[in-house]
Chain A
């Protein structure tokens, strides 16, 4: 790094930082925001799926009995695949997923405490909507995965260029002058949140890339023509490293042995290996009823371990013979640590909350970057290029406050739609998702119409929607935070409290934004601040 007065290094880094931020800010913010919420995806599930609000029970669920029930319910159908998710502290319901010869699919949800089957909860919620939005933006095919990869790489680029661009003010990392003008206070927030959580932001972006590194390179191969495009082989090789097991169906009928004794055998092997009781976490019976039937299972994540790598065991489903006993190799531990730190399946509540704060800080960094950009340039270029300023206003308002408002509206509509709602063939869960996108699109339109007032107005909307969600949850389920906590439903109480805190912060921020509306900034911009590197006082 050169400090020569005529050096082009920092101006060029500034250029990269500004344009990568502006062009990809929407994408990065979406991925970061949805990732932050995914930290509590199961807790959001409990909130949005009131029928699943139960306290976790360790009572084992009999999956053979579940298979019997499925056969009894659909006597004319033939099961070809069955997946079983064992309940856990954060996901207290056991689930069975069944695929049939005709291509039909069924999900079976069981309360482990009572053994009774629960109706479809009617919401995609955290694990079905917010988490997929984080990993692939809910886009069909592989496009979403690529965009998320670009977002992660851009985030790393922004973190590095940001350090160079804002180097001098980074030394002032305790500074937030909230009473100063918006241009000043937004830059303070940008530097504060960006600097303090820099290691976390970099690690999250980096681990996000590394999780799918193998997968992404497979995608590269898949896009190539010719011999490389043997899809199945490539994806199977990618899966081998993680201990997944599968094999082709023989096409001939075969016997099926009971599932529960095999689970017990695997659990006994793991428990002996690790000297503590270990349970199976996910079980997949493939080619069910076929001569090549198999059953694959994965142990639950150890409480005190970051690394995602866990043992898997596969049996032959026709006779119960063991096929594979996979133990993750030490050579993979670094990659597995990176994956584990990103997936946060471990049991560590304080760290989970710290992740949430770190994620919010990332969102704040991106959002305040947007605000700073418009606030610092408005007076200078508005006269000359009104369209450019308007466009960036619309994009930044819609991407930041619009997305947050849409998320809150997603929670609100969840509590307003009747249990059996459906419209034009769309099920209730899909309707919630459509409403989310409707509100998000409207937020861009609103930003286009209201221009300078849009930031403040949408922030008010966030406050109102968040508060509304809490009140509606109380009215429709009776689980206000105190009642929920009293029943041991910390997921519901916690989400309510976060929404209340969010509503309070949004209301305060809206008042501040109204006070220092960008239009109120009369002082012409000084060159020192156009070039953020020179903005230190």
Chain B
């Protein structure tokens, strides 16, 4: 039961973090969050890491329920996580400032 919950939360966390990285790797979202008109630093690495984390979310899904359920759970976890990221960008983009700060190496502003 606890393991089930832990795997589910881990999958959601990986998907969310991946979504945040993918979103911030796009210039417009980077600008919305940081106000910085330049392209995000290391956009390419951010994109790669973002996809990697999204892919990585599959692992806890499989470990939780096996492939049969994971094939259903994983795409939906990614979708819901990305939806949350999109809504955060739209309504409270400043929530992502800490992540952007950490990525640009300037700390939280």
Identify which of residues 6-37 in chain B touch chain A, using a CB-to-CB cut-off of 8 Å.
8, 19, 22-23, 26, 28-29
Stretch at the interface among A102-110, A170-178, A519-527: A170-178
Query: Would you call A197 an interface residue if the criterion is a C-beta within 8 Å of the partner chain's C-beta atoms?
Result: yes
B interface majority secondary structure: helix
Query: Would you call A59 an interface residue if the criterion is a C-beta within 8 Å of the partner chain's C-beta atoms?
Result: no
Query: Would you call A307 an interface residue if the criterion is a C-beta within 8 Å of the partner chain's C-beta atoms?
Result: yes
Query: Would you call B101 an interface residue if the criterion is a C-beta within 8 Å of the partner chain's C-beta atoms?
Result: no
Query: Would you call B69 an interface residue if the criterion is a C-beta within 8 Å of the partner chain's C-beta atoms?
Result: yes
Q: Which residue of B lies closest to A348 (CB)?
A: B69
- Closest-CB distance, B13 to chain A (whole angstroms): 14
Identify which of residues 275-308 in chain A touch chain B, using a CB-to-CB cut-off of 8 Å.
304-307
B87 and A176 form a contact (CB under 8 A): yes
In the complex, chain A residues whose CB is within 8 Å of the CB of B90: 176-178
Number of CB contacts from chain A to chain B under 8 A = 76
Number of B residues with CB within 8 Å of any CB on chain A:
27
Interface centre among B65, B72, B83, by most A CB within 10 Å?
A: B72
Complex Cα spacing A174 to B79, Å: 11
B26 and A174 form a contact (CB under 8 A): yes
Contact with B along A426-461 (1 / 0, CB 8 A): 000000000000000000000000000000000000
- Closest-CB distance, B68 to chain A (whole angstroms): 5
A172 and B69 form a contact (CB under 8 A): no
Please classify how large the interface on chain A is, using the bins under 10, 10 to 19, 20 to 34, 35 or more.
Answer: 20 to 34
Query: Would you call A361 an interface residue if the criterion is a C-beta within 8 Å of the partner chain's C-beta atoms?
Result: yes
- Closest-CB distance, B18 to chain A (whole angstroms): 12
B91 and A174 form a contact (CB under 8 A): no
Given A307-B68, A354-B80, A361-B83, verify A174-B23 contact (CB < 8 Å): yes
Query: Would you call B108 an interface residue if the criterion is a C-beta within 8 Å of the partner chain's C-beta atoms?
Result: no
- Closest-CB distance, A179 to chain B (whole angstroms): 8
Query: Would you call A200 an interface residue if the criterion is a C-beta within 8 Å of the partner chain's C-beta atoms?
Result: yes
In the complex, chain A residues whose CB is within 8 Å of the CB of B79: 196-197, 199-200, 357-358, 361
A174 and B86 form a contact (CB under 8 A): yes
A positions within 8 Å CB-CB of B: 172-178, 192-193, 196-197, 199-200, 203, 304-307, 337, 341, 346, 348, 350-351, 354-355, 357-358, 361, 537
Q: Which 9 A-B pairs rank lowest in CB-CB distance, beginning with the nearest?
A: A354-B76, A174-B23, A199-B75, A196-B79, A176-B90, A174-B86, A197-B79, A306-B68, A196-B82
B positions within 8 Å CB-CB of A: 8, 19, 22-23, 26, 28-29, 65-66, 68-69, 72-73, 75-80, 82-83, 85-87, 89-91
Query: Could you list some 15 contacts between A and B, CB below 8 A?
Result: A172-B26, A173-B86, A174-B19, A174-B86, A176-B89, A199-B75, A304-B65, A306-B69, A307-B68, A337-B68, A350-B8, A351-B76, A357-B80, A358-B76, A358-B80
